[in-house]
Copies of this chain bind each other. A is one copy, B any other.
Amino acid sequence: MDYKARVHVEIGMDFPEDPHEQLWGAVGAVFNSWMNQRAKTYRQLHDIPESWGTAVNVQAMVFGNMGSDCATGVAFTRNPSNGANDFYGEFLVNAQGEDVVAGIRTPQELTIKARKSHGSDLPSLEEVMPNIFRELCTMRQQLETHYKDMQDIEFTIQQNKLYMLQTRTGKRTAHAALQIAVDMANEGLISKSQALMRLKPELIDQLLHPTLDPKAKKQVIAKGLPASPGAAAGKVVFSADEAVRRAKDGEKVLLVRIETSPDDIHGLHAAEGVLTTRGGMTSHAAVVARGMGRPCVAGAGAVQVDYAAARLSVGSVTVQEGQILTIDGVTGEVILGEVPTVPPQLSGAFGIIMAWADEYRTLQVRANAETPNDARQAKEFGAQGIGLVRTEHMFFDGGRIIAMRRMILAADEADRKVALEELLTMQREDITELFRIMDGRPVTVRLLDPPLHEFIPHTEAEMAQVAKAAGVPLNRVRRRAAELQEANPMLGHRGCRLAITYPEICEMQARAIFEAAAAVGKAGGAVPVAEVMVPLVATLQELSILKEVVEKTAAAVQKEQGMNFTYRVGTMIELPRACLQAGKLAEQAEFFSFGTNDLTQTTYGLSRDDAGAFLPEYKAKGIVEQDPFVSLDQEGVGELIKVAVERGRTARDGMKMGICGEHGGDPASIEFCNKVGLDYVSCSPFRVPVARLAAAQAALKLRGEKALQPSTKAAKPLQPAFGPW
C-alpha cells in the first residue's frame, strides 16, 4: 500500500488496475528510460549513438519466489573473472532475480566446486536441485555453441521447472576475455581471427596495470570478494558525485558504497576502484567495474559505512573521507593507506593473442622512448624499434639542465660551443645506451624541439640560482628569459627553427647520434639504423639546410671513426603546410613521421594545454565526437595525412612513413593509419601490446573481416613476439 500511495504522489493518479494499462505503462517507462541521465552517461561511456533507441520485450512472468521448489539465479557460461571454462553463477532459493543482483541477500553458488573454493556454507544448486542443475548445464553448452561466446544468463525455477529468462554476451575481465578467446579458438568454436577481432584492444591495457607489491607491508583491515582484478589506491569518497568532483581536480579517489546502482556509473568511471560492503561477484558494482577495467572488491561485509558522517569503520579503525585506502581486486583485500605496486604478471593467453596478432598485422609497432627503462620495457612488449626519441627530455635532468642553460645563456657562438661540448658527451652516452638496448632495431631520434624558455625558470629566486650554477651574470639570465618569452610558444621559436638559428645545436645532436652508432658498432653490437628526424618543418628549405648539416656531420664522424653506418634523415610532418608540401619535402626527407599531436593543434587551431576549458562542453554538446587529442580527427587531420602520404609516396616511391603522436596507441587511429598505408605506429611503451592487437584488427578489417588465414604480408617482429611471459 505504501507503493501505491507513492505512485499517487509521483504521477498524480491512482495506480492503474487494468492490466493492459499497467502493461503499456511499463512499456512506456522502458522507452522513457532511454533518455534518463543514467542511460545518457552509459551511452557516452560506450560511444552508443542516441539515435539507436531501445526496444521492449514482453514476456510472461515466472516466479522464483513461490516456495522452496522455486529459485532464481544468474550465471556466466565461463568464469568472467579469470576466463576458466567453469560454469559460474549464483542463485537464491525462493527469490526473485532482483534479490540476487542487488546483493541484499548473500547468494549461493551453482556448483560444488565453486562452493568449496569460496568456502561457502550454503549448499550449491548442484546439490539442492541436481536435475535442474544438469538441465542448466545442457543449456550452457547449447548457448555457447550457438552464440560462440561466453553468455551471461538469467534463469528462474518455478515449481521445479527451469525457465531461461535472458541470455546475452557476458561482461568479463580483460584476463578472462583473453583466456576465453584463446580457449574458444583452440576448442574450434571460433577462428583465430575471430578471437582477435572480438578483443577490445583497451582490454590489453587493463592487463598491464600494476598489482600490489607482494613484498610490501600492508595493513589489511577487511576482506571482500575479488570482483574485478587490479590494485587501486585513492582517497576514500562516499558518493559518485564527490568522486567526479575530486577526480576533476586531479585527485585519485576510491569509491566506497554499501552497494552501487546504475546511478553511480559516473562515479565508478571517475574512481580508481570500487569497494562495496554488500553484494556478490555478479552485483552491479562487480559487473560494471569489470566492464570498465576498474579494480573492485565487493561485499566486504565487515566494513561499516556511515554516509552521513562521511566515514567508514572496521572494528576500531575509522577512515574519514579523503583518507587513502588501497584495494586488491585479485585477493579482495582492503588495505589502509597506499601500498606500492609491481608490474603486472601476464598470462599465457596474453602471449598467444600477441603472437596471433603479429601473424595478421601488417603495421609495424614502435615505441616512443627516451630512457633506458622505457626502451627496455618497449622491447619486452614487442616494440620493433623506437619511433620517437625526444632528445630534449634528456636535458632536463639535474646536471644536464645546467649545461643546457649554459648553452642558452651563452654570450656568443664560441661560448655556446663550449656548453655544447658538455651536452655532446651526455647525449652521446644516452643514445649509445638506447642503441645498445634496441639491438639493431631502428631508432628515430628527433632533434631538439621545445622552445628554449622551457629550460629557463622565471622567478627571480630561480633565476639567481641558474645564474650561479651556469656561472653567468644574473642580468643576462633575466634578459635572456625576457627575450625568450613568447606569446604562443606552441607556434614560436622551436622545432627546426631552433636548429636554423643555432646550426651548432643540430650539429652537436647529429654528432652525438653518429658517434653513438659508431660506439655501439665498435663494441660489437648490432649497429642501428639511426634515423635523424627534423621536427616542425614547414618548408623544403628548412629541411634542406638541416639535412646538409646532418650529412656533413655524418661524413665527418664516419671519417674520424673509420667506419660506415647507415642513417636516414627524415622529417616530422606536424604542420598543415608540411602535409600540403609533402611532395616537395619528400625530395629531401627519407622518411615521414606524422606528429599528430601538433598537427591536431594546428589543424584545429586548438591548444592542447588550453582546450580543457571548453573541450568537455564540446563533447557534451556533440560538437566533437571524440577528444581529437585522444582519437585522431579522421575527417580533418586525417585528410591532411592522406594528402601527405599520397604526395610523399608519389615523390619518393615506397617512402617509409609512420606516426609518433599519442594517437599511435589509439585503436581507432591505428585503424586509420593502417588504411592510409602507413608503415608503422609508434606509441608509449605500455601501449605497444594494445597497438599490436589493434593493428591486427585493422588489417583484418581492411581485408573485409573475412580472412581466416594469417596475412602473407604479416609483420615479422625482430624478436619473439611475446617475450618474457
Which residues from chain A sit less than 8 Å from chain B, CB to CB?
A: 483, 486-493, 495, 497, 500-501, 536, 538-539, 541-542, 545, 574-577, 580-581, 598, 601-607, 609-611, 613-614, 617-618, 621-624, 633, 635-637, 639-640
Contacts and interface: CB of A to CB of B under 8 A. Distances in A.
Contacts of A602: 576, 602-603, 605
Contacts of A576: 576, 602-603, 605, 636, 640
Contacts of A500: 614, 617-618, 621, 623
A541 B491 contact: no
Nearest to A497: B614
A162 to B, nearest CB: 50
Given A491-B607, A576-B640, A635 B581 contact: yes
B487 A545 contact: no
Contact of A486 (B495, B610, B624, B636): B610
B623 A605 contact: no
In this complex, the member of A491, A536, A541, A575 whose beta carbon has the largest number of chain B beta carbons within 10 angstroms is A491
Contacts of A610: 486-489, 491-493
A636 B487 contact: no
A201 to B, nearest CB: 27
B575 A603 contact: yes
Contact of A609 (B487, B536, B603, B639): B487
Given A538-B605, A577-B604, 11 more contacts: A483-B613, A486-B610, A490-B491, A491-B607, A497-B614, A536-B605, A541-B624, A545-B623, A576-B636, A577-B605, A602-B605
Nearest to A613: B493
B640 A580 contact: yes
A209 to B, nearest CB: 30
Contacts of A607: 486-488, 490-492
A606 B487 contact: no
Nearest to A543: B623
A83 B563 CA distance: 71
A497 B623 CA distance: 11
In this complex, the member of A576, A617, A621, A624 whose beta carbon has the largest number of chain B beta carbons within 10 angstroms is A576
Contact of A491 (B483, B581, B606): B606
B622 A541 contact: yes
A574 B488 contact: no
A486 B611 CA distance: 9
Contacts of A493: 610, 613-614
In this complex, the member of A601, A613, A621, A623 whose beta carbon has the largest number of chain B beta carbons within 10 angstroms is A623
Contacts of A574: 605
A577 B636 contact: yes
Contacts of A633: 577
A541 B580 contact: no
Closest 4 CB pairs of A and B: A491-B607, A488-B607, A492-B610, A487-B609
Contacts of A622: 541
A539 B619 CA distance: 12
Nearest to A451: B610
In this complex, the member of A574, A577, A601, A603 whose beta carbon has the largest number of chain B beta carbons within 10 angstroms is A577
Given A580-B639, A614-B501, A539 B488 contact: no
A598 B609 contact: no
A581 B539 CA distance: 24
A498 to B, nearest CB: 9
B487 A487 contact: no
A193 to B, nearest CB: 35
Nearest to A540: B623
A83 B658 CA distance: 62
10 contacts: A487-B609, A491-B601, A500-B617, A541-B621, A542-B623, A545-B621, A576-B603, A576-B636, A580-B603, A598-B605
A485 to B, nearest CB: 9
B541 A581 contact: no
Nearest to A501: B614
A500 B635 CA distance: 21
A637 B579 CA distance: 11
A598 B488 CA distance: 13
Nearest to A539: B623
Contacts of A611: 492
A12 to B, nearest CB: 30
A459 to B, nearest CB: 16
Nearest to A492: B610
A447 to B, nearest CB: 15
Given A603-B602, A617-B501, A635 B580 contact: yes
A637 to B, nearest CB: 8
A385 B576 CA distance: 32
A603 B603 CA distance: 7
A122 to B, nearest CB: 54
Given A487-B609, A576-B576, A636 B538 contact: yes
Contacts of A491: 488, 490-491, 601, 605-607, 610
